[in-house]
Chains A and B, each alone.
Chain A
Amino acid sequence: MSVEPLHPVPEELFAYRDGELPAERRAFVETHVMACRVCREQMDEMSKLEASLRAQPDTVGDAYYDRMQAQVMAKIHAAAPPSRAPIREVPLERRSDDREERRRGAPKLPWIAVGSAVSAMAAVVVVVVLLVRQSSMPQVAVLERSAPDAGRRNAVTDTSEAGGQLAPSPSEAPMAPGADARAKERQLAEAPQTKQQTPPTDQGALAPRAEAKKDKANEVGDEKLASRPESDLMAQRSVAGLSKDEAVQQAAPQASMAPPAAAAGNRYESALSRFGLPPLWGPGVSDDLVLRAEPVFRNLYRTGGATTPLDSARVRLYLAEAERLRAGAAPDSAAIDEIEHHYQRAIRLGRDDPATVSTAAQRLRDFLSEIGATP
């Protein structure tokens, strides 16, 4: 007697589709979705509904936005200029704490500043000594030379360091929470790197604030489309290929859970080298590779991991190609919208790179021609 497989709860199913499911649950949901047409259809239907919402035409035009821009700038000019702190590349908490310290009247208690300086110097000395000792250890040297993913390890290191470089909540502009809360959140932000075993629950820990800041590329003004379900791709995979792909798939949510500093690195290049892809999509690139790399590119797209406009453009190009492959010969209207949108953005974002622009423009023309639309 066969046992009916349990469907994942909708929370997990949608979180999986959104790339927000913790790694330890992702494998279960992914395995289920691969085998369950009902769940795949549910995810696909939701993607289409959300794509339709995003595709709603604006109720205002360019003139309206021009006027709004002028009004905002007039208000800014009319208001007293904020006292701008000099640009310092230091953790926000520290800046905030510095201000807190000044408010508390540091001059009244100069020994605090002296003590802090001495402590900081002592910490630096300890760190330097440790580093020197570690560098002399042979196994570390071997790792440094042989690890193929040294860049990733560096990223993790950067990430954990970035736990202390959390951007403040925008809402802190009007109402700043206490430094204690920020310190707690900093600890939580570091947590996913070392233990991603705790699925989020209503009683679960607060979200790491760091993650709150990394969910969108610097492509502002962009009508973003949802992360598309991977159902079609997954259905195509053979069971034999699962273990290899799982590693790829699981890399995406882990990256998405990582604090944002990881996004500040060259994650696009890292993704390319992981899959052996060229910087710019071309006709010779394997379809299978494009499909396998898609979750990682989609994650870059959502998290702002592609930090330059050109990288963003190229990520868009790969996403358009992946979507075309998944949509097949008869894409539905939502897929057409998405593919065209990605190409258009690739053209715009890559405007300084003729190769990117011409590739994206040509692919867009080909696509429109394939579906019988007028370019």
Chain B
Amino acid sequence: MTPARPDRTGLTDEELVRLVRGGETDAFAEVVRRVQRPAYRLALRITRHAEDADDVVQESLVKAYQALDRFQLGRALSPWILTIVARTALSLLRQGKRRAAMSLDDPGPDGRASLAERSADPTADPVLWERRLDVERAFSRLSEEHRVILALRVEGDLSYASIAETLDVPLGTVMSRLARAREALAEQMAQTKKDER
């Protein structure tokens, strides 16, 4: 009979890091639980493929565990891990090993309904889900450069400095590229609305 895993949901990130560094590897499971959702969403936005995103997240979390000694206590843990996720995902893109991008109509990796179907939940506010779907379509039409930087900012909620570090570009480039990406998103939205008429 395996002993019950202690409940660590009430611990802070810092306490968890201390436990893991102190040799309690299982405490990292709670870190994984906390961060895997935003990590997966970020990886999915960058790779545009569920299996790639899954690979990226798993690889990144293992890397984060192995590098946990280098995480400085007192800092926010989530952005640190999300930056690892972003770099791993970008590395995959650069290596050209990714799978074909999924569309809004593809089913989820666990066999769940596609994003389009899920967004079109009849119980949800129809105006709201229609808009969300439009925004998602507009986002999917952006160039890779624009999608990536928007994903880092919007989904990863990373600072400009973190984005600069992740993309290995100057801060000014982050500012200008992000502005171009946002303008492109707004243009795509306008185009989507025009197409619907």
> In whole angstroms, how far apart are the Cα atoms of A196 and B40 in the complex?
36
B36–A68 contact, CB under 8 A?
A: yes
Asked if B47 is at the interface (CB within 8 A of a chain A CB), the reply is no
Contact between chains at B67 and A224 (CB < 8 Å) = no
With A75-B62, A76-B65, A216-B82 given, can you name 15 additional A-B contacts, CB distance below 8 Å? A10-B183, A11-B176, A52-B135, A59-B44, A59-B109, A59-B112, A60-B109, A61-B110, A84-B23, A172-B67, A200-B160, A223-B38, A302-B159, A307-B74, A333-B128
Partner of B79, one of A10, A57, A84, A216: A216
B14 proximity list for chain A (CB < 8 A): 218
A69 near B83: Cβ-Cβ < 8 Å: no
Q: Are A18 and B112 in contact (CB under 8 A)?
A: no
Would B160 and A73 count as touching, CB distance under 8 A? no
Assess whether A53 is in contact with B136, with CB atoms less than 8 Å apart: yes
Main secondary structure of the interface of A (DSSP, over half): loop
Chain A contact-residue range equals 35 or more
- Name the CB-closest residue of A to B76: A304
Given the contacts A69-B29, A215-B157, A309-B12, A167 and B71 also touching, CB distance less than 8 Å: yes
Which residue of chain B lies nearest to A162 when distances are taken between CB atoms in the complex?
B74
**Complex Cα–Cα for A2 and B154 (A):** 39
Determine whether the beta carbon of A57 is less than 8 Å from that of B118: yes
Least CB distance from B7 to A in Å reads 13
Main secondary structure of the interface of B (DSSP, over half): helix
Give 3 closest A-B pairs by Cβ, nearest first.
A173-B67, A215-B159, A207-B161
Our pick among B68, B78, B160 for the contact of A18 (Cβ within 8 Å) is: B160
Interface membership of A170, Cβ < 8 A: yes
Q: Is A212 on the interface with B (CB-CB < 8 A)?
A: yes
Contact with A along B112-152 (1 / 0, CB 8 A): 10110011010001011001100110110000000000100
Q: A11-B175, A59-B50, A213-B79 are in contact. Are A92 and B72 (CB under 8 A)?
A: yes
Stretch at the interface among A42-50, A107-115, A231-239, A242-250: A42-50
Is A60 in contact with B178, judged by CB distance below 8 angstroms? no
Question: Whose C-beta in chain A lies nearest to the C-beta of B165?
Answer: A212
Answer yes or no: B32 CB below 8 A from chain A CBs.
yes
Chain A residues whose CB sits within 8 angstroms of the CB of B37 once the complex forms? 58, 65, 221
- Nearest CB of A to B40, in Å: 7
Contacting pair B72 A166 (CB below 8 A): yes
Q: Choose among A9, A212, A223 the residue that contacts B159 (Cβ–Cβ < 8 A).
A: A212
Give bound CA distance, A172 to B170, whole Å. 18
CB distance from A152 to the nearest CB of B (A): 18
Identify the A interface with B (CB < 8 A).
9-15, 18, 20, 45-46, 49-50, 52-61, 63-65, 68-69, 71-73, 75-77, 79, 81-82, 84-85, 87, 89, 92, 95-96, 165-174, 200-209, 211-224, 226, 256, 260-261, 263-264, 302-304, 307-309, 333, 352
Min CB distance, A340 to chain B, in Å?
A: 12
B8 within 8 A of A: no
Shortest distance between the CB of A301 and any CB in chain B (Å): 10
Q: B72's contact among A12, A60, A76, A213, by CB below 8 Å, is which?
A: A213
Q: How far is the CA of A352 from the CA of B166 in the complex (A)?
A: 36
Pick from B21, B35, B75, B164: contact of A213, CB under 8 Å: B75
Interface pair B74/A260, CB less than 8 Å apart: yes
Collect the chain B residues with CB atoms within 8 Å of residue A55's CB: 132
Within the complex, what minimum Cβ distance (angstroms) separates A75 from chain B? 5
**Is A215 in contact with B108, judged by CB distance below 8 angstroms?**
no
Distance between B155 CB and nearest chain A CB, rounded to angstroms: 7
* Interchain CA distance A207-B122 in the complex, whole Å: 46
Q: For the complex, is B61 an interface residue (Cβ under 8 Å from A)? A: yes
- Chain A residues with Cβ below 8 Å from B22 are 84, 87
Contact B73 A214 (CB under 8 A): no
| Contact partner, B182, options A46, A89, A211, Cβ 8 Å | A46
Residue B81, interface by CB 8 Å: yes
Is there contact, CB below 8 Å, between A220 and B165? Answer: no
Partner of B172, one of A57, A202, A221: A202
Interface centre among A20, A55, A72, A170, by most chain B C-beta atoms within 10 angstroms, is A170
Q: Verify A173–B64 contact, CB threshold 8 A.
A: yes
Shortest Cβ gap from A164 to chain B (Å): 11
Check B18–A77 contact: CB distance below 8 A. Answer: no
Q: B89 within 8 Å of A by Cβ?
A: no
Within 8 Å CB of A76, what residues of B?
25, 28, 62, 65
| B63 at the A interface (CB under 8 A) | yes
If A75-B58, A166-B72 touch, whether A221 touches B33 (CB-CB below 8 Å) is yes
